[in-house]
Amino acid sequence: MNMRKEVCIDSNIEGNMQKKACLGIDIGGTSVKLGLFDLEGALLEKWSIPTNRERNGAEIIQDIAASVNRKLYERKLKPERLTGIGAGVPGQVSEDGMVLLAENLGWQNVPLGRELSEQTGLPVRTENDANLAAFGEAWKGSARDCHSMMFVTLGTGIGCGIVVKNQILTGVYGTAGEIGHMHVEDRMPVPCVCGKYGCLEQLASATGLRWMGERALEQTMEPSLLRNEKVSAKTVFEAAGKEDRVAVQIAERFGKYLGKALADCTCLLNPEMIVIGGGVTKGGQIVLDYIEKYYRQYAYEPFGGTKLRLASLGNDAGIYGAARLIMMDKTDTF
């Protein structure tokens, strides 16, 4: 923890004090991550609290408020010295801070912005968590100083946030960046959670890699390192790194689905950079290499190529993006 002394402000100073810090919060289904930032964007301290999903997450907001208030008290930091709270939610949020739907929290029509503001005395701005993770990577991560970027998260599913000229692209109903539901396979025998067949996240997420792996092992008698252990994104890329033929085939398929889908995204958006993160990328550079191989084959880039990079902020991308959100004057979503 990098605690800067200048943020521990004398609590006796009164009046219209200069702002010194802000909070970035990332509300997840298991835990809520919180970060205290100075206004240059340095992370002063981060901590987390468990997400209490009981009774449709009825306690979550007051748990967050209590944790924030305790931290400010510990640090002798008056609310007046904070710009406010930025908060990311795993779901759909309206511009006025109303969470329309966040299934992982059990929330439907929860006035997060208003309640968190009332319980902390701080201004609150809210946004979808994938968008804020992108905002974080665009601000302080791999896509720093980029004109435009997509941040693709390969986890259980596939999420994506888009930032163009420091603005989050949300779409008219907040579903911009839902590339996990691009259609990539006509012959998919099982349905996606969305009800359609052949969505990108059925094949190129951690879940998809496991599904492809288990299926490949069933369909061939070929020996494979994957027969000795649980098939997962991790074991597939480890085995592919050792030239295991079955694993290489799965990794190639993964790379083709994702590389081609991202090439199509480049046709539409022409971003300066595509940042790839999430659990699947714990496999490291080899994951990116399989994606980039097919991306370059399909991408239309007559005047210059989009850079593909691994994410650099890890699990902190969301709190960085949330802090950035509350620091900005205007509404930087469009």
**107 C-beta neighbours (distance < 10 Å), count:** 24
Is residue 173 part of the contact set for a copy of itself (CB under 8 A)? yes
Contact 112/25 with Cβ under 8 angstroms? no
Residue 64 C-beta: closest distance to a copy of itself, Å: 25
The answer to whether residue 165 forms part of the interface with a copy of itself (CB under 8 A) is yes
User: Which residue's CB is nearer to a copy of itself, number 7 or number 274?
Assistant: 274
- What is the C-alpha separation between 326 and 127, in angstroms, rounded? 10
Smallest separation, CB 169 to a copy of itself (Å) = 7
Site for a copy of itself in 264-293 (CB under 8 A): 264-265, 267-272
Q: Which among 285, 275, 302, 286 is positioned nearest to 250, based on CA atoms?
A: 286
**Least distance in angstroms from the C-beta of 334 to a copy of itself:** 4
Per rule CB under 8 A, count of chain residues that contact a copy of itself? 47
Contact (Cβ atoms closer than 8 angstroms) between residue 86 and residue 324 = yes
168 binds a copy of itself (CB under 8 A): no
Closer residue to a copy of itself (CB): 84 or 259:
259
* CB closer to a copy of itself out of 32 and 138: 138
Structure tokens at 197: 């067949």
174 binds a copy of itself (CB under 8 A): yes
SS3 state of residue 310: strand
Task: Name which of residues 194 to 253 contact a copy of itself (CB under 8 A).
Answer: 194, 196, 199
Give the distance from CA 91 to its chain's centroid: 12
Is 171 a binding residue for a copy of itself by CB under 8 A? The answer is yes
Q: Residue 191 Cβ, how far from a copy of itself at the closest point, in Å? A: 13
If you ran DSSP here, which 8-state letter would residue 217 be given? H
Report in angstroms how near the CB of residue 123 gets to a copy of itself at its nearest. Answer: 23
The CA distance from 326 to 291, in Å, is: 34
**Cα distance between residue 112 and residue 230, in whole Å:** 40
Q: How far is the CB of 303 from a copy of itself (least distance, A)?
A: 4
84 to 143, contacts with a copy of itself by CB under 8 A? Answer: 92, 100
Vertex 150 angle, CA 146 and 153, to 5°: 130
The CB-of-237 to a copy of itself minimum distance in angstroms stands at 25
H or E stretch at 277: strand 273-277
Which residue has 């659990």 as its token pair?
279
What's the alpha-carbon Rg for the chain, to the nearest Å? 21
- Residues near a copy of itself, by CB under 8 A: 92, 100, 146-148, 160, 162, 164-165, 167, 169-183, 194, 196, 199, 260-261, 263-265, 267-272, 298, 300-304, 306, 334
